Chain A
Amino acid sequence: MLDDYLKANLANWDEAVSLHVGAEMYDVEGFKKGRCSLSAIEVDELGPSVREGTTLLHLQCHFGLDTLSWARQGATVTGIDFSGEGVATARSLAEELGLSQRATFVQSDVYHLPEVLDGRFDVVFTSWGVLLWLGDLERWAQVIAHFLKPGGVFYIAEFHPYAFLLADDSTRDSLRIGYPYFMHGEPQRFDEPGDYADPEATLRHTVTFEWNHGFAEVIDPLLREGLRLDFLHEFPYTPEGLPFPFLEVCADGLQRVKGHHEDFPLSFSLKMTKER
Protein backbone atom coordinates (compact mmCIF):
# COMPACT_ATOMS: atom_id res chain seq x y z
CA MET A 1 0.00 0.00 0.00
CA LEU A 2 2.78 2.41 0.92
CA ASP A 3 4.19 1.88 -2.58
CA ASP A 4 0.85 2.77 -4.20
CA TYR A 5 0.67 5.99 -2.19
CA LEU A 6 4.27 6.73 -3.13
CA LYS A 7 3.54 6.17 -6.82
CA ALA A 8 0.60 8.59 -6.83
CA ASN A 9 2.54 11.22 -4.91
CA LEU A 10 5.55 10.81 -7.21
CA ALA A 11 3.47 11.42 -10.35
CA ASN A 12 2.16 14.60 -8.72
CA TRP A 13 5.64 15.79 -7.72
CA ASP A 14 7.27 14.95 -11.06
CA GLU A 15 4.67 17.12 -12.72
CA ALA A 16 5.02 19.91 -10.13
CA VAL A 17 8.76 20.43 -10.64
CA SER A 18 8.57 22.31 -13.95
CA LEU A 19 5.68 24.34 -12.54
CA HIS A 20 7.69 25.27 -9.44
CA VAL A 21 10.79 26.26 -11.39
CA GLY A 22 8.71 29.02 -12.98
CA ALA A 23 6.67 29.89 -9.88
CA GLU A 24 7.00 33.22 -8.12
CA MET A 25 7.07 31.40 -4.78
CA TYR A 26 10.36 29.72 -5.64
CA ASP A 27 11.87 32.74 -7.45
CA VAL A 28 14.54 30.75 -9.28
CA GLU A 29 15.81 33.85 -11.12
CA GLY A 30 16.43 35.61 -7.81
CA PHE A 31 18.10 32.50 -6.48
CA LYS A 32 20.46 32.41 -9.46
CA LYS A 33 21.48 35.99 -8.65
CA GLY A 34 22.39 35.00 -5.11
CA ARG A 35 19.17 35.01 -3.06
CA CYS A 36 19.24 32.51 -0.18
CA SER A 37 16.14 30.29 -0.29
CA LEU A 38 16.37 29.33 3.39
CA SER A 39 14.09 31.04 5.90
CA ALA A 40 15.37 32.98 8.89
CA ILE A 41 14.39 30.07 11.14
CA GLU A 42 16.83 27.58 9.56
CA VAL A 43 19.55 30.19 9.06
CA ASP A 44 19.41 31.30 12.71
CA GLU A 45 19.09 27.84 14.24
CA LEU A 46 21.11 25.54 11.99
CA GLY A 47 23.42 28.14 10.41
CA PRO A 48 25.93 28.06 13.31
CA SER A 49 26.37 24.28 12.78
CA VAL A 50 27.18 24.71 9.07
CA ARG A 51 30.76 25.77 8.27
CA GLU A 52 33.19 25.43 5.39
CA GLY A 53 33.42 21.70 4.69
CA THR A 54 30.47 20.59 6.86
CA THR A 55 28.88 17.57 5.20
CA LEU A 56 25.09 17.95 4.96
CA LEU A 57 22.46 15.49 3.78
CA HIS A 58 19.20 17.12 2.68
CA LEU A 59 16.23 14.72 2.69
CA GLN A 60 13.29 15.39 0.34
CA CYS A 61 15.16 18.26 -1.31
CA HIS A 62 12.68 18.87 -4.21
CA PHE A 63 14.72 20.66 -6.93
CA GLY A 64 17.51 21.66 -4.59
CA LEU A 65 17.28 25.39 -3.86
CA ASP A 66 17.78 24.92 -0.11
CA THR A 67 20.45 22.28 -0.68
CA LEU A 68 22.40 24.70 -2.88
CA SER A 69 21.83 27.54 -0.38
CA TRP A 70 23.66 25.48 2.26
CA ALA A 71 26.41 24.78 -0.32
CA ARG A 72 26.77 28.52 -0.82
CA GLN A 73 27.36 28.77 2.94
CA GLY A 74 30.33 26.41 2.60
CA ALA A 75 28.75 22.99 3.17
CA THR A 76 29.43 19.95 1.03
CA VAL A 77 25.87 18.86 0.34
CA THR A 78 23.97 15.81 -0.83
CA GLY A 79 20.33 16.36 -1.76
CA ILE A 80 17.97 13.45 -2.22
CA ASP A 81 14.48 13.40 -3.63
CA PHE A 82 12.18 10.70 -4.96
CA SER A 83 11.39 12.75 -8.07
CA GLY A 84 13.73 12.22 -11.02
CA GLU A 85 12.52 15.56 -12.41
CA GLY A 86 13.46 17.27 -9.14
CA VAL A 87 16.93 15.72 -9.05
CA ALA A 88 17.63 16.50 -12.75
CA THR A 89 16.62 20.14 -12.26
CA ALA A 90 18.73 20.40 -9.09
CA ARG A 91 21.79 19.04 -10.93
CA SER A 92 21.47 21.48 -13.81
CA LEU A 93 21.03 24.39 -11.36
CA ALA A 94 24.15 23.30 -9.47
CA GLU A 95 26.05 23.13 -12.77
CA GLU A 96 24.83 26.54 -13.90
CA LEU A 97 25.83 28.12 -10.57
CA GLY A 98 29.26 26.47 -10.43
CA LEU A 99 28.32 24.47 -7.31
CA SER A 100 28.44 20.94 -8.71
CA GLN A 101 31.80 20.28 -7.01
CA ARG A 102 30.16 20.57 -3.63
CA ALA A 103 26.59 19.50 -4.40
CA THR A 104 25.54 15.94 -5.26
CA PHE A 105 21.94 14.93 -5.97
CA VAL A 106 20.56 11.41 -5.67
CA GLN A 107 17.15 10.12 -6.77
CA SER A 108 15.68 8.01 -3.97
CA ASP A 109 12.80 7.95 -1.55
CA VAL A 110 13.81 8.34 2.09
CA TYR A 111 13.19 4.73 3.08
CA HIS A 112 15.48 3.15 0.47
CA LEU A 113 18.29 5.68 0.73
CA PRO A 114 20.73 3.42 2.66
CA GLU A 115 20.64 1.05 -0.34
CA VAL A 116 21.85 3.69 -2.79
CA LEU A 117 23.95 6.14 -0.76
CA ASP A 118 27.11 5.57 1.26
CA GLY A 119 28.70 7.83 3.82
CA ARG A 120 27.92 9.57 7.09
CA PHE A 121 27.14 13.24 7.55
CA ASP A 122 27.68 16.05 10.07
CA VAL A 123 24.17 17.34 9.47
CA VAL A 124 20.93 15.77 8.25
CA PHE A 125 18.51 18.51 7.21
CA THR A 126 14.89 18.45 6.05
CA SER A 127 12.23 21.16 5.89
CA TRP A 128 8.78 22.55 5.05
CA GLY A 129 6.16 20.16 3.87
CA VAL A 130 8.16 16.94 4.05
CA LEU A 131 6.54 14.89 6.82
CA LEU A 132 3.10 14.85 5.23
CA TRP A 133 4.51 12.67 2.41
CA LEU A 134 5.83 10.04 4.83
CA GLY A 135 3.64 7.27 6.19
CA ASP A 136 6.32 5.55 8.27
CA LEU A 137 8.31 7.78 10.60
CA GLU A 138 9.93 4.78 12.31
CA ARG A 139 11.81 3.99 9.10
CA TRP A 140 12.43 7.70 8.53
CA ALA A 141 14.09 8.00 11.95
CA GLN A 142 16.19 4.90 11.30
CA VAL A 143 17.45 6.42 8.05
CA ILE A 144 18.35 9.68 9.82
CA ALA A 145 20.25 7.86 12.58
CA HIS A 146 21.99 5.69 9.96
CA PHE A 147 23.41 8.67 8.07
CA LEU A 148 24.52 10.76 11.09
CA LYS A 149 28.11 10.69 12.30
CA PRO A 150 28.56 10.42 16.06
CA GLY A 151 28.09 13.98 17.26
CA GLY A 152 26.12 14.77 14.12
CA VAL A 153 23.03 16.99 14.12
CA PHE A 154 19.54 16.34 12.80
CA TYR A 155 17.50 19.47 12.12
CA ILE A 156 13.97 19.92 10.81
CA ALA A 157 11.92 23.09 10.27
CA GLU A 158 8.36 22.12 9.41
CA PHE A 159 4.71 23.07 9.46
CA HIS A 160 3.18 22.56 12.90
CA PRO A 161 0.86 19.57 13.27
CA TYR A 162 -1.85 22.00 14.47
CA ALA A 163 -1.56 23.94 11.17
CA PHE A 164 -3.25 21.06 9.33
CA LEU A 165 -6.19 20.61 11.73
CA LEU A 166 -8.42 23.57 11.07
CA ALA A 167 -11.51 23.28 8.88
CA ASP A 168 -11.38 25.17 5.59
CA ASP A 169 -14.31 27.35 6.68
CA SER A 170 -12.71 28.33 10.00
CA THR A 171 -12.98 32.00 10.87
CA ARG A 172 -11.09 34.11 13.41
CA ASP A 173 -13.99 33.70 15.84
CA SER A 174 -14.55 30.01 15.26
CA LEU A 175 -11.50 27.84 14.65
CA ARG A 176 -13.25 24.54 13.94
CA ILE A 177 -11.52 21.22 13.50
CA GLY A 178 -11.68 19.74 10.00
CA TYR A 179 -8.77 17.32 9.85
CA PRO A 180 -7.09 14.80 12.16
CA TYR A 181 -4.04 15.17 14.40
CA PHE A 182 -3.69 11.39 14.76
CA MET A 183 -4.01 9.38 11.55
CA HIS A 184 -3.15 5.92 12.84
CA GLY A 185 -1.18 5.08 9.70
CA GLU A 186 -3.89 5.66 7.09
CA PRO A 187 -3.35 8.68 4.80
CA GLN A 188 -5.95 11.17 3.63
CA ARG A 189 -6.67 11.15 -0.10
CA PHE A 190 -6.81 14.52 -1.79
CA ASP A 191 -7.79 15.22 -5.38
CA GLU A 192 -7.09 18.85 -6.20
CA PRO A 193 -6.21 20.29 -9.60
CA GLY A 194 -4.22 23.27 -8.27
CA ASP A 195 -0.79 23.47 -6.73
CA TYR A 196 0.39 25.14 -3.53
CA ALA A 197 2.86 27.30 -5.47
CA ASP A 198 0.43 28.03 -8.31
CA PRO A 199 -3.26 27.68 -7.40
CA GLU A 200 -4.26 28.52 -10.99
CA ALA A 201 -2.37 25.56 -12.43
CA THR A 202 -4.15 22.52 -13.81
CA LEU A 203 -2.19 19.38 -13.03
CA ARG A 204 -2.86 16.05 -14.71
CA HIS A 205 -1.78 13.98 -11.69
CA THR A 206 -4.06 15.43 -9.07
CA VAL A 207 -4.45 12.64 -6.52
CA THR A 208 -2.15 12.71 -3.49
CA PHE A 209 -2.01 10.78 -0.21
CA GLU A 210 -0.94 12.74 2.84
CA TRP A 211 -0.35 12.10 6.53
CA ASN A 212 -0.48 14.47 9.49
CA HIS A 213 1.89 13.51 12.29
CA GLY A 214 1.63 14.47 15.96
CA PHE A 215 4.67 15.53 17.95
CA ALA A 216 5.08 12.15 19.64
CA GLU A 217 4.99 10.42 16.27
CA VAL A 218 7.83 12.65 15.05
CA ILE A 219 9.97 12.84 18.18
CA ASP A 220 9.61 9.42 19.79
CA PRO A 221 11.15 7.36 16.94
CA LEU A 222 14.16 9.69 16.92
CA LEU A 223 14.57 9.29 20.69
CA ARG A 224 14.37 5.52 20.29
CA GLU A 225 17.22 5.75 17.77
CA GLY A 226 19.32 7.26 20.54
CA LEU A 227 19.25 10.88 19.41
CA ARG A 228 19.31 13.52 22.15
CA LEU A 229 16.64 16.21 21.94
CA ASP A 230 18.44 19.59 21.98
CA PHE A 231 15.45 21.81 21.34
CA LEU A 232 11.89 21.99 20.07
CA HIS A 233 10.65 25.44 19.08
CA GLU A 234 7.19 26.56 17.98
CA PHE A 235 6.34 29.66 15.96
CA PRO A 236 2.97 31.42 15.49
CA TYR A 237 3.82 31.97 11.81
CA THR A 238 5.24 30.24 8.79
CA PRO A 239 7.70 31.67 6.27
CA GLU A 240 6.39 29.30 3.58
CA GLY A 241 3.02 29.55 1.90
CA LEU A 242 0.18 27.35 3.10
CA PRO A 243 -2.93 27.54 0.91
CA PHE A 244 -5.51 27.83 3.72
CA PRO A 245 -8.22 30.53 3.66
CA PHE A 246 -8.01 31.26 7.41
CA LEU A 247 -4.39 32.44 7.04
CA GLU A 248 -3.10 35.87 6.03
CA VAL A 249 0.29 37.23 5.02
CA CYS A 250 1.44 39.94 7.42
CA ALA A 251 3.57 43.03 6.76
CA ASP A 252 6.73 41.07 7.63
CA GLY A 253 5.96 38.56 4.85
CA LEU A 254 5.08 35.78 7.30
CA GLN A 255 1.77 33.90 7.31
CA ARG A 256 -0.36 33.86 10.47
CA VAL A 257 -3.85 32.74 11.46
CA LYS A 258 -6.31 35.63 11.05
CA GLY A 259 -7.11 37.07 14.46
CA HIS A 260 -4.58 34.76 16.15
CA HIS A 261 -1.21 36.26 15.29
CA GLU A 262 0.45 35.27 18.56
CA ASP A 263 -1.39 32.27 19.98
CA PHE A 264 -1.76 29.70 17.19
CA PRO A 265 1.45 27.84 16.22
CA LEU A 266 1.99 27.20 12.50
CA SER A 267 5.62 26.03 12.47
CA PHE A 268 8.07 24.11 14.58
CA SER A 269 11.76 23.34 14.51
CA LEU A 270 13.55 20.46 16.16
CA LYS A 271 17.26 19.86 16.68
CA MET A 272 18.63 16.54 17.89
CA THR A 273 22.14 15.14 18.24
CA LYS A 274 23.49 11.64 17.73
CA GLU A 275 25.72 11.13 20.74
CA ARG A 276 27.28 7.78 19.91
Chain B
Amino acid sequence: MTDPIPAEARATNLRLWNAWTRVHEKSAFYDVEGFRAGATSLWPLELEELGPLVHEGTTLLHLQCHFGLDTPSWARRGADVVGLDLSDEAVALARRLADEVGLSRRAEFVCADLYDADAHLGDRLFDIVFVSWGAIEWLPDLERWAGIVARHLTLGGTFYLAEIHPFAGGLDEVPGEHDVRVKYHLLPAPDHPDVEPIEGSYADRSADTTGLVAYGWAHSFAEIIGALTGAGLRVEHLHEFPTSPAPFWDWMVRDEARWWWLPDGEGGLRKDLPLSFSLCATKPAG
Protein backbone atom coordinates (compact mmCIF):
# COMPACT_ATOMS: atom_id res chain seq x y z
CA MET B 1 0.00 0.00 0.00
CA THR B 2 1.16 3.51 -0.72
CA ASP B 3 2.16 5.72 2.19
CA PRO B 4 -0.76 8.06 2.91
CA ILE B 5 1.66 10.71 4.20
CA PRO B 6 3.86 12.41 1.58
CA ALA B 7 7.57 11.75 2.36
CA GLU B 8 8.30 15.45 2.85
CA ALA B 9 5.43 15.80 5.37
CA ARG B 10 6.53 12.68 7.25
CA ALA B 11 10.14 13.87 7.58
CA THR B 12 9.07 17.42 8.50
CA ASN B 13 6.66 16.29 11.21
CA LEU B 14 9.23 13.82 12.61
CA ARG B 15 11.78 16.66 12.87
CA LEU B 16 9.18 18.78 14.68
CA TRP B 17 8.20 16.09 17.17
CA ASN B 18 11.80 15.29 18.02
CA ALA B 19 12.42 19.00 18.68
CA TRP B 20 9.19 19.33 20.66
CA THR B 21 10.14 16.31 22.79
CA ARG B 22 13.25 18.19 24.01
CA VAL B 23 11.11 21.28 24.80
CA HIS B 24 8.29 19.32 26.42
CA GLU B 25 10.50 17.28 28.76
CA LYS B 26 11.38 20.52 30.55
CA SER B 27 7.97 22.23 30.28
CA ALA B 28 5.68 23.11 33.17
CA PHE B 29 2.81 21.94 30.95
CA TYR B 30 3.98 18.31 31.04
CA ASP B 31 5.35 18.53 34.60
CA VAL B 32 7.64 15.51 34.33
CA GLU B 33 8.78 16.02 37.93
CA GLY B 34 5.19 15.74 39.15
CA PHE B 35 4.77 12.57 37.11
CA ARG B 36 7.95 11.11 38.64
CA ALA B 37 6.55 11.92 42.07
CA GLY B 38 3.41 9.92 41.30
CA ALA B 39 0.96 12.37 39.69
CA THR B 40 -1.17 11.14 36.80
CA SER B 41 -0.86 13.02 33.52
CA LEU B 42 -4.39 12.00 32.51
CA TRP B 43 -7.23 14.50 32.58
CA PRO B 44 -10.22 13.97 34.88
CA LEU B 45 -12.21 13.57 31.65
CA GLU B 46 -10.35 10.45 30.53
CA LEU B 47 -10.21 9.09 34.08
CA GLU B 48 -13.96 9.53 34.43
CA GLU B 49 -14.97 8.21 31.01
CA LEU B 50 -12.39 5.49 30.37
CA GLY B 51 -11.04 4.87 33.89
CA PRO B 52 -13.84 2.47 34.92
CA LEU B 53 -12.78 0.10 32.10
CA VAL B 54 -9.11 -0.02 33.15
CA HIS B 55 -8.37 -2.73 35.71
CA GLU B 56 -5.40 -4.78 36.80
CA GLY B 57 -4.20 -6.59 33.69
CA THR B 58 -6.28 -4.64 31.14
CA THR B 59 -4.27 -4.42 27.93
CA LEU B 60 -4.14 -0.94 26.43
CA LEU B 61 -2.64 0.34 23.19
CA HIS B 62 -1.86 4.07 23.16
CA LEU B 63 -1.43 5.33 19.59
CA GLN B 64 0.60 8.52 18.95
CA CYS B 65 1.74 8.46 22.60
CA HIS B 66 4.42 11.21 22.34
CA PHE B 67 6.88 10.63 25.25
CA GLY B 68 4.36 8.55 27.05
CA LEU B 69 3.27 10.23 30.27
CA ASP B 70 -0.33 9.12 29.66
CA THR B 71 0.80 5.60 28.74
CA PRO B 72 2.55 4.83 32.07
CA SER B 73 -0.23 6.75 33.88
CA TRP B 74 -2.61 4.02 32.66
CA ALA B 75 0.01 1.43 33.69
CA ARG B 76 -0.01 2.89 37.19
CA ARG B 77 -3.71 2.05 37.30
CA GLY B 78 -2.90 -1.57 36.53
CA ALA B 79 -3.00 -1.72 32.74
CA ASP B 80 -0.42 -3.48 30.61
CA VAL B 81 0.31 -0.80 28.05
CA VAL B 82 1.97 -0.40 24.69
CA GLY B 83 2.69 3.14 23.50
CA LEU B 84 3.45 3.84 19.84
CA ASP B 85 4.96 7.04 18.49
CA LEU B 86 6.78 8.21 15.37
CA SER B 87 9.48 10.15 17.26
CA ASP B 88 12.58 8.17 18.21
CA GLU B 89 13.55 10.79 20.79
CA ALA B 90 10.08 10.64 22.36
CA VAL B 91 10.11 6.85 22.53
CA ALA B 92 13.62 6.85 24.06
CA LEU B 93 12.45 9.34 26.72
CA ALA B 94 9.27 7.34 27.34
CA ARG B 95 11.30 4.17 27.94
CA ARG B 96 13.70 6.00 30.25
CA LEU B 97 10.85 7.50 32.29
CA ALA B 98 8.98 4.19 32.58
CA ASP B 99 12.19 2.60 33.79
CA GLU B 100 12.81 5.37 36.33
CA VAL B 101 9.36 4.98 37.89
CA GLY B 102 9.57 1.19 37.91
CA LEU B 103 6.95 0.56 35.23
CA SER B 104 9.06 -0.87 32.43
CA ARG B 105 7.63 -4.36 32.94
CA ARG B 106 4.14 -3.20 32.12
CA ALA B 107 4.86 -0.31 29.76
CA GLU B 108 6.35 -1.08 26.35
CA PHE B 109 7.08 1.47 23.64
CA VAL B 110 7.23 1.07 19.89
CA CYS B 111 8.83 3.63 17.60
CA ALA B 112 6.80 3.66 14.40
CA ASP B 113 4.73 5.89 12.19
CA LEU B 114 1.02 5.35 12.91
CA TYR B 115 0.45 3.94 9.43
CA ASP B 116 3.21 1.34 9.99
CA ALA B 117 1.64 0.10 13.23
CA ASP B 118 0.48 -3.23 11.83
CA ALA B 119 4.01 -4.21 10.85
CA HIS B 120 5.22 -3.55 14.41
CA LEU B 121 2.25 -4.87 16.37
CA GLY B 122 1.59 -7.98 14.27
CA ASP B 123 -1.61 -9.65 15.42
CA ARG B 124 -1.48 -8.32 18.97
CA LEU B 125 -4.91 -7.46 20.40
CA PHE B 126 -5.81 -5.02 23.17
CA ASP B 127 -8.83 -4.50 25.42
CA ILE B 128 -8.54 -0.76 24.86
CA VAL B 129 -7.11 1.47 22.16
CA PHE B 130 -6.55 5.00 23.48
CA VAL B 131 -5.88 8.17 21.46
CA SER B 132 -5.86 11.68 22.83
CA TRP B 133 -5.33 15.41 22.29
CA GLY B 134 -3.84 16.60 19.04
CA ALA B 135 -3.37 13.20 17.39
CA ILE B 136 -5.60 12.93 14.33
CA GLU B 137 -4.59 16.32 12.89
CA TRP B 138 -1.29 14.65 11.89
CA LEU B 139 -3.10 11.98 9.86
CA PRO B 140 -4.35 12.52 6.30
CA ASP B 141 -6.22 9.21 6.04
CA LEU B 142 -8.63 8.28 8.84
CA GLU B 143 -9.93 5.14 7.14
CA ARG B 144 -6.47 3.55 7.37
CA TRP B 145 -6.21 4.81 10.96
CA ALA B 146 -9.58 3.33 11.97
CA GLY B 147 -8.60 0.04 10.33
CA ILE B 148 -5.51 -0.12 12.54
CA VAL B 149 -7.61 0.68 15.63
CA ALA B 150 -10.15 -2.04 14.79
CA ARG B 151 -7.55 -4.69 13.90
CA HIS B 152 -5.84 -4.37 17.28
CA LEU B 153 -9.00 -4.43 19.43
CA THR B 154 -10.29 -7.59 21.07
CA LEU B 155 -13.92 -8.52 20.40
CA GLY B 156 -15.89 -6.39 22.82
CA GLY B 157 -12.89 -4.05 23.17
CA THR B 158 -13.18 -0.28 23.51
CA PHE B 159 -11.74 2.55 21.46
CA TYR B 160 -11.53 5.89 23.28
CA LEU B 161 -10.68 9.23 21.70
CA ALA B 162 -10.38 12.62 23.45
CA GLU B 163 -9.54 15.29 20.89
CA ILE B 164 -9.55 18.91 19.83
CA HIS B 165 -12.95 19.66 18.24
CA PRO B 166 -13.06 19.76 14.41
CA PHE B 167 -14.62 23.24 14.69
CA ALA B 168 -11.76 24.52 16.84
CA GLY B 169 -9.36 23.21 14.19
CA GLY B 170 -10.94 25.62 11.72
CA LEU B 171 -10.59 28.70 13.92
CA ASP B 172 -8.05 31.49 13.85
CA GLU B 173 -7.78 34.59 16.01
CA VAL B 174 -9.20 37.88 14.72
CA PRO B 175 -6.15 40.15 14.31
CA GLY B 176 -5.91 42.60 17.20
CA GLU B 177 -8.85 41.13 19.11
CA HIS B 178 -9.30 38.39 21.66
CA ASP B 179 -11.87 36.75 19.41
CA VAL B 180 -12.02 33.95 16.88
CA ARG B 181 -13.27 33.44 13.34
CA VAL B 182 -13.42 30.52 10.93
CA LYS B 183 -10.35 30.48 8.71
CA TYR B 184 -9.43 26.87 7.89
CA HIS B 185 -11.25 23.91 6.35
CA LEU B 186 -14.13 22.51 8.39
CA LEU B 187 -14.41 19.55 6.05
CA PRO B 188 -11.64 17.06 5.24
CA ALA B 189 -9.19 18.00 2.50
CA PRO B 190 -6.74 15.07 2.40
CA ASP B 191 -4.82 16.51 -0.55
CA HIS B 192 -4.51 19.98 1.01
CA PRO B 193 -2.57 19.83 4.27
CA ASP B 194 -2.21 23.01 6.27
CA VAL B 195 1.52 23.72 6.15
CA GLU B 196 2.36 26.16 8.91
CA PRO B 197 5.65 27.44 10.33
CA ILE B 198 5.84 26.60 14.04
CA GLU B 199 6.11 29.30 16.68
CA GLY B 200 6.92 27.68 20.00
CA SER B 201 4.78 24.78 21.18
CA TYR B 202 1.33 24.29 22.62
CA ALA B 203 3.14 23.39 25.84
CA ASP B 204 5.61 26.28 25.82
CA ARG B 205 4.71 29.18 23.57
CA SER B 206 8.10 30.85 24.06
CA ALA B 207 10.21 27.85 22.98
CA ASP B 208 12.68 28.46 20.16
CA THR B 209 11.40 26.45 17.20
CA THR B 210 13.03 28.44 14.42
CA GLY B 211 12.82 26.70 11.06
CA LEU B 212 10.32 24.06 12.11
CA VAL B 213 7.19 23.41 10.09
CA ALA B 214 4.06 21.27 10.65
CA TYR B 215 1.90 19.45 8.12
CA GLY B 216 -1.64 19.00 9.46
CA TRP B 217 -4.94 17.82 8.05
CA ALA B 218 -8.50 19.00 8.75
CA HIS B 219 -11.09 16.45 9.83
CA SER B 220 -14.81 16.44 10.49
CA PHE B 221 -17.22 14.42 12.60
CA ALA B 222 -18.70 12.69 9.57
CA GLU B 223 -15.21 11.61 8.53
CA ILE B 224 -14.14 10.45 12.00
CA ILE B 225 -17.37 8.58 12.68
CA GLY B 226 -17.56 7.20 9.15
CA ALA B 227 -14.01 5.82 9.41
CA LEU B 228 -14.78 4.08 12.71
CA THR B 229 -18.17 2.63 11.66
CA GLY B 230 -16.62 1.63 8.34
CA ALA B 231 -14.00 -0.36 10.27
CA GLY B 232 -16.80 -2.22 12.06
CA LEU B 233 -16.84 -0.26 15.33
CA ARG B 234 -20.02 0.86 17.08
CA VAL B 235 -20.22 4.42 18.38
CA GLU B 236 -21.16 4.43 22.08
CA HIS B 237 -20.92 8.08 23.02
CA LEU B 238 -20.03 11.50 21.64
CA HIS B 239 -19.46 14.37 24.08
CA GLU B 240 -18.47 17.97 23.32
CA PHE B 241 -16.86 20.59 25.55
CA PRO B 242 -16.14 24.36 25.43
CA THR B 243 -12.64 23.73 26.85
CA SER B 244 -9.23 22.67 25.58
CA PRO B 245 -6.32 20.99 27.40
CA ALA B 246 -3.87 23.43 25.77
CA PRO B 247 -4.16 27.07 24.67
CA PHE B 248 -4.46 27.83 20.96
CA TRP B 249 -3.58 31.49 21.54
CA ASP B 250 -1.77 33.23 24.39
CA TRP B 251 -4.88 35.22 25.36
CA MET B 252 -6.87 32.10 26.29
CA VAL B 253 -7.70 31.66 29.98
CA ARG B 254 -6.93 28.70 32.24
CA ASP B 255 -9.33 27.57 34.99
CA GLU B 256 -8.54 25.85 38.28
CA ALA B 257 -9.01 22.43 36.72
CA ARG B 258 -6.32 23.36 34.14
CA TRP B 259 -8.76 23.60 31.19
CA TRP B 260 -8.26 26.45 28.72
CA TRP B 261 -11.18 28.65 27.68
CA LEU B 262 -11.90 31.47 25.26
CA PRO B 263 -12.53 34.65 27.30
CA ASP B 264 -15.90 36.36 26.76
CA GLY B 265 -14.41 39.87 26.82
CA GLU B 266 -16.27 40.76 30.02
CA GLY B 267 -14.10 38.91 32.49
CA GLY B 268 -15.91 35.60 32.04
CA LEU B 269 -15.48 32.45 29.99
CA ARG B 270 -17.10 31.62 26.66
CA LYS B 271 -19.26 28.54 26.95
CA ASP B 272 -20.81 28.84 23.47
CA LEU B 273 -18.19 27.26 21.19
CA PRO B 274 -16.94 23.66 21.06
CA LEU B 275 -13.19 23.26 21.61
CA SER B 276 -12.90 19.54 22.36
CA PHE B 277 -14.81 16.26 22.24
CA SER B 278 -14.62 12.69 23.39
CA LEU B 279 -15.84 9.65 21.53
CA CYS B 280 -16.14 6.06 22.63
CA ALA B 281 -16.70 3.11 20.28
CA THR B 282 -16.67 -0.64 20.76
CA LYS B 283 -15.83 -3.61 18.57
CA PRO B 284 -19.01 -5.72 18.65
CA ALA B 285 -18.44 -9.17 20.10
CA GLY B 286 -20.92 -10.95 17.86
List the interface of chain A (C-beta within 8 A of B): 162, 165-166, 174-177, 180-184, 214-217, 219-220, 223, 228-234, 236, 262-265, 268
Q: Is the CB of B235 within 8 A of A229?
A: yes
The answer, yes or no, to whether B186 is at the interface (CB within 8 Å) is yes
Q: Is the CB of B189 within 8 A of A216?
A: no
Q: Is the CB of B186 within 8 A of A162?
A: yes
Smallest CB-CB separation from A230: which chain B residue?
B229
A219 to B229 CA separation, bound complex (whole angstroms): 14
Q: Is the CB of A236 within 8 A of B187?
A: yes
Contacting A180 at CB < 8 Å: which of B225, B239, B273? B273
9 closest residue pairs by CB, A with B? A180-B272, A175-B182, A234-B222, A263-B185, A216-B240, A229-B235, A216-B238, A176-B181, A232-B222
Q: Is the CB of B239 within 8 A of A216?
A: yes
Which residues of A lie under 8 Å from residue B218 when comparing CB positions? 263
Main secondary structure of the interface of A (DSSP, over half): mixed
The answer, yes or no, to whether B237 is at the interface (CB within 8 Å) is yes
The answer, yes or no, to whether B36 is at the interface (CB within 8 Å) is no
Q: Is the CB of A182 within 8 A of B220?
A: no
The answer, yes or no, to whether B242 is at the interface (CB within 8 Å) is yes
The answer, yes or no, to whether B180 is at the interface (CB within 8 Å) is yes
Which residues of B lie under 8 Å from residue A265 when comparing CB positions? 186-187, 220, 222
**A210 → chain B, closest Cβ, in Å?**
15
Q: Is the CB of A215 within 8 A of B238?
A: yes
Smallest CB-CB separation from A264: which chain B residue?
B186
A219 to B74 CA separation, bound complex (whole angstroms): 29
Q: Is the CB of A234 within 8 A of B182?
A: no
Which residues of B lie under 8 Å from residue A223 when comparing CB positions? 235-238
Q: Is the CB of B187 within 8 A of A262?
A: yes
Contacting A263 at CB < 8 Å: which of B186, B239, B271, B274? B186
Q: Is the CB of A214 within 8 A of B181?
A: no
Instruction: Give residues 224-248 of B contacting A (CB, 8 Å).
Output: 225-226, 229, 234-240, 242
Instruction: Give residues 155-200 of B contacting A (CB, 8 Å).
Output: 167, 174, 179-187, 189
Contacting B238 at CB < 8 Å: which of A184, A219, A231? A219
Which residues of B lie under 8 Å from residue A217 when comparing CB positions? 240
A233 to B222 CA separation, bound complex (whole angstroms): 5
Q: Is the CB of B240 within 8 A of A215?
A: yes
Extra inter-chain contacts (20) besides given A183-B272, A231-B226, A265-B187, CB under 8 Å: A162-B186, A166-B182, A177-B179, A177-B273, A180-B272, A181-B167, A181-B273, A181-B274, A182-B242, A182-B271, A182-B273, A182-B274, A219-B235, A229-B225, A229-B229, A232-B222, A234-B187, A263-B187, A263-B218, A265-B222
**B166 → chain A, closest Cβ, in Å?**
9
A175 to B189 CA separation, bound complex (whole angstroms): 19
Q: Is the CB of A220 within 8 A of B238?
A: yes
A217 to B274 CA separation, bound complex (whole angstroms): 12
> Which one of B182, B183, B226 has the highest number of Cβ atoms from chain A below 10 Å of its Cβ?
B182
**B153 → chain A, closest Cβ, in Å?**
17
The answer, yes or no, to whether B29 is at the interface (CB within 8 Å) is no
> Which one of A215, A219, A228, A231 has the highest number of Cβ atoms from chain B below 10 Å of its Cβ?
A215
Q: Is the CB of B183 within 8 A of A216?
A: no
The answer, yes or no, to whether B249 is at the interface (CB within 8 Å) is no
A268 to B187 CA separation, bound complex (whole angstroms): 12
The answer, yes or no, to whether B277 is at the interface (CB within 8 Å) is yes
Instruction: Give residues 198-216 of B contacting A (CB, 8 Å).
Output: none
Smallest CB-CB separation from B230: which chain A residue?
A231
**A131 → chain B, closest Cβ, in Å?**
15
**A190 → chain B, closest Cβ, in Å?**
17
A77 to B238 CA separation, bound complex (whole angstroms): 32
Smallest CB-CB separation from A174: which chain B residue?
B181
**B263 → chain A, closest Cβ, in Å?**
14
**B9 → chain A, closest Cβ, in Å?**
20
Smallest CB-CB separation from A167: which chain B residue?
B181
**B278 → chain A, closest Cβ, in Å?**
9
Contacting A175 at CB < 8 Å: which of B183, B187, B221, B238? B183
Which residues of B lie under 8 Å from residue A184 when comparing CB positions? 271
A230 to B233 CA separation, bound complex (whole angstroms): 10
A230 to B274 CA separation, bound complex (whole angstroms): 24
